[in-house]
Structure 1
């Protein structure tokens, strides 16, 4: 049962977050890469609502079942490019952040594939999905009902 419904959310709160989503989506980053970030971070955070949403969105843009089912164990599979691996590693590190700066090796790997501007967008995308995960885990929106409207 939902703790907080759409009707309970303060006016403008979700719209402000959606504005950030729009900003990220207008970046030069690939849609599939952004959605992989969202799904992997949501898996790490155990956010059922967001896992359902981003799984369905990736299926909608023709992501393979093999890659989707293997995302949780991406390090042990050959299905992800080195560029995707750099982003997934960074996504996990930033999501499971501790009291130390991001490791230089992880950052340097990102620099092999992305400009500083793109790294900024990636960082924002990771922090944004972490925000959504924490909201959904607090509000307890019911997973399974999301319909892709792209």
Structure 2
């Protein structure tokens, strides 16, 4: 295990407006009415793609509190093959992967059309904010190797 380059608390002291802004963005998306379990599945998948242990652990803890079934937590990395995710969850996860893997490519009309078949325009806007926000958190968490928070009674690893 690699040691943290900077702790989350130290980062928050150095750049306090940054976590505040990201928390505000996340809160706005969380309060938009989109199913919170879907949002957490998206945050988990994006955090897996970005290799951010800090965010992955946080969102595993949140997902468990929200009652996301353990099978979905176990299989979100292979959601396309798992056969246990709803069409709406699959659309959200596909959109999350598209926005996370955007480097060097444009976002197709087909990708947008796929997510719009399952989410309203407003929901896609807030889902996209959630994805953008977790990507920002992931880049900070991965850059500084923030240590995953271990919650009492919840193991840091699966």
Give the TM-score taking structure 1 as reference length. Answer: 0.91
Q: 2 CA distance for matches of 1:24 and 1:111?
A: 17
- Pair 1:33 & 2:35 matched: no
- Residue 7 of structure 1: aligned partner: 10
Structure 2 gaps, min length 5: 153-158
- Residue 118 of structure 2: aligned partner: 113
Q: Secondary structure at the match of 1:73?
A: helix
Listed one character per residue, the Cα deviations across residues 97-148 of structure 1 (whole Å, up to 9, x for unaligned) are 133321222211111111111111111111110000000111211114256x
Q: Is the 8 A contact 1:86 1:106 kept in 2?
A: no
| The one of 91, 97, 103 aligned to 1:92 | 97
RMSD: 1.7
Q: 2 CA distance for matches of 1:113 and 1:40?
A: 19
Q: Is the 8 A contact 1:2 1:139 kept in 2?
A: yes
- Pair 1:124 & 2:129 matched: yes
Number of equivalences: 148
Structure 1 gaps, min length 5: none
- Residue 141 of structure 1: aligned partner: 146
Q: Is the 8 A contact 2:26 2:129 kept in 1?
A: no
| CA positional deviation for 1:16 | 1.5
Structure 1 ranges of 4+ moved more than 4 A: none
- Residue 22 of structure 1: aligned partner: 27
Give the TM-score taking structure 2 as reference length. Answer: 0.86
Q: 1 CA distance for matches of 2:31 and 2:120?
A: 16
